[in-house]
Amino acid sequence: MSARTLLLLGTTLLLFAGSSVAGAQANSSLTVNPAAAGPLTITTAVAGQEPTGVVASGGTYTVFIKKNQGYSSISARLSAPLPAGTTLTITLASPGSGAVSAGPVDLTTSAITVVSSIPTNTTLPSVSVNYSFAATTAAGVLALKTASVILELAP
Amino acid sequence: MNTRIARRSALALALLTCTMAGSASAQTATQTVTFAVNAINQVAFTGSPSLTITTAVAGSNPTSVSDASASWAVTTNQTGAKITASIPLAMPAGLTLSANLAAPGGATSLGSKALGTAGVDLVTGITMKAQSGMAVTYTLDATAAAGVVPSGSRVVTYTITGGT
């Protein structure tokens, strides 16, 4: 086999590797839409109980995992801690095809799995992101604040 | 010789390209979530206490009666909230209706206070607290001058005033 033949083979392998995924998607991807959610504003309580938590839609997310990239799940984390006495919970629905939602997950600055067993090379439907926000009386009164929620493909 | 080197280079290139195609940079998506907590001050009372004066010690005014069957609950996420109470109509002459609220942790009960049409403080210093099942004690006092008073009722209005 000549060097020219091997070089051609290398080029062929590159092209093959770049187009082996199903459909038109060439790389793994994770998107969430819209880029902002909320506001989640706690306004009331039942007397004697902690303030009543609130829920809000976070829109939808779409995931595509290319084969052999080492991804099979989505993790979520915060870029910074929440104020004391507050809890932000995220729920990513399962897009089906065997993917498993972890259900409601309390967010911290440490990544935690929210969806697992995501099949590779499979075009999956966009499905819902939901948030709930809770606060104890110890949190006090909080003016509008923001939290950056980072979703990431993970092994 | 040159052919062998070229062959190895080409093979290495092929392997390299396969390896690059098999790896990927981190895939992330970020969403900004906005949240807030408003000032919350809630108070609730349960129970329908009943008070009837029926007797006296000879030589003294009628004997006062008390009812501690009611309870109350509070939630505030502020500092220094207080509870006041009032009744919409004054009590008949010679009768006094008083209320005494047990205080939630860290707050101060001002003890038994006579109720009138003007609000009176009963508990102060309630700070970031959610507590229920606290005692409410009503007391009815009468002087002999009150005479016989037909059955009546008063709606006691409790108000929580938020602190800061």
Q: Write the pLDDT tens digit of every residue in B148-163.
A: 999 999 999 999 998 8
Work out the average pLDDT over B121-128: 98
Q: Residue A54: give its domain's CATH number.
A: 2.60.40
Match 């999956």 to its residue by tokens: A124
What are the tens digits of pLDDT across the range A37-89? 999 999 999 999 999 999 999 999 999 999 998 999 999 999 999 999 999 99
What are the tens digits of pLDDT across the range A113-134? 999 999 999 999 999 999 999 9
Residue B77 and residue B83 in contact, taking contact as beta carbons nearer than 8 Å: no
Whole-number pLDDT of residue A37:
95
For residue A152, give the nearest of B23, B28, B131 by CB distance.
B28
In a domain, A11, yes or no: no
Nearest alpha-carbon partner for A14 in B18, B25, B9 = B18
Q: At a CB cut-off of 8 Å and minimum separation 6, what does B82 contact?
A: B121, B123, B124, B125, B126, B160, B161, B163
Residue in A137, A152, A153 to test binding to B, most B beta-carbons within 10 Å: A137
Using a CB–CB cutoff of 8 Å, tell me whether B161 touches chain A. no
Provide the 8-state DSSP code for A149.
E
Into how many domains does chain A fold?
1
- Of all residues in chain B, the percent with pLDDT exceeding 90 is 82
What residues of chain B, 47 to 106, have a C-beta less than 8 Å from chain A? 72-79
Backbone CA torsion sign across A15, A21, A23, A27: negative
In a domain, A141, yes or no: yes
In a domain, A69, yes or no: yes
- Which residues of chain A make contact with B7, given a CB cutoff of 8 A? 1-3, 6
Work out the average pLDDT over B85-99: 97
- Of all residues in chain B, the percent with pLDDT exceeding 70 is 84
Provide the 10 A C-beta neighbour count for residue B135: 14
Work out the average pLDDT over B98-109: 98
Contact A37 B37 (CB under 8 A): no
In a domain, A4, yes or no: no
In a domain, A5, yes or no: no
Work out the average pLDDT over B50-68: 97
Give chain B's largest Cα–Cα span.
131
Residue A96 has pLDDT above 90, yes or no: yes
Distance CA A138, CA A51 (A): 10
Using a CB–CB cutoff of 8 Å, tell me whether B14 touches chain A. yes
Whole-number pLDDT of residue B163:
80
- Which residues of chain B make contact with A77, given a CB cutoff of 8 A? none
Whole-number pLDDT of residue B162:
81
| Mutual angle of helices B2-22 and A3-18, in 10-degree steps | 0
Distance CA B22, CA A66 (A): 9
In a domain, A7, yes or no: no
The model's pTM is 0.81
Query: Checking DSSP bridges between strand A36-42 and strand B28-37, what pairing results, if any?
Result: parallel
Contact A45 B40 (CB under 8 A): yes
Token pair of B26 as six digits: 């981190």
User: CA geometry: angle at B110 spanning B105 and B116, to 5°?
Assistant: 130
Whole-number pLDDT of residue B17:
35
Whole-number pLDDT of residue B164:
86
Whole-number pLDDT of residue A75:
98
Task: List, in sequence order, the alpha helices (H) in chain A.
Answer: 3-18
Query: Checking DSSP bridges between strand B129-142 and strand A36-42, what pairing results, if any?
Result: unpaired
Measure CA of the first residue to CA of the last residue in chain B; give whole Å.
Answer: 86
Minimum Cα–Cα distance from B46: chain A residue: A47
- By residue count, chain B amounts to 164
Whole-number pLDDT of residue A24:
55
Residue B9 and residue A10 in contact, taking contact as beta carbons nearer than 8 Å: no
According to the per-residue pLDDT averaged within each range, which of A1-10, B12-21, B26-35, B130-139 is highest?
Answer: B130-139
Whole-number pLDDT of residue A13:
35
Minimum Cα–Cα distance from A133: chain B residue: B35
What does the mean pLDDT of chain B come to? 88
For residue B27, give the nearest of A138, A149, A152 by CB distance.
A152
Distance CA A50, CA B131 (A): 9
Residue A114 and residue A75 in contact, taking contact as beta carbons nearer than 8 Å: yes
In a domain, A60, yes or no: yes
Contact B36 A42 (CB under 8 A): yes
A and B: number of Cβ contacts within 8 A: 201
B11: alpha, beta or left, given left = phi > 0 and alpha = psi -120 to 50? alpha
Residue B103 has pLDDT above 60, yes or no: yes
Between B20 and B104, name the one with better pLDDT.
B104
Residue B56 and residue B63 in contact, taking contact as beta carbons nearer than 8 Å: yes
In a domain, A1, yes or no: no
Token pair of A54 as six digits: 């609130």
Minimum Cα–Cα distance from B4: chain A residue: A3
What are the tens digits of pLDDT across the range A3-42? 444 433 333 333 333 333 344 567 899 999 999 999 999 9
- Which residues of chain A make contact with B21, given a CB cutoff of 8 A? 14, 17-18
Range(s) of the domain holding residue A64: 25-154
Q: At a CB cut-off of 8 Å and minimum separation 6, what does B86 contact?
A: B115, B116, B117, B118, B119, B120, B156, B157, B159
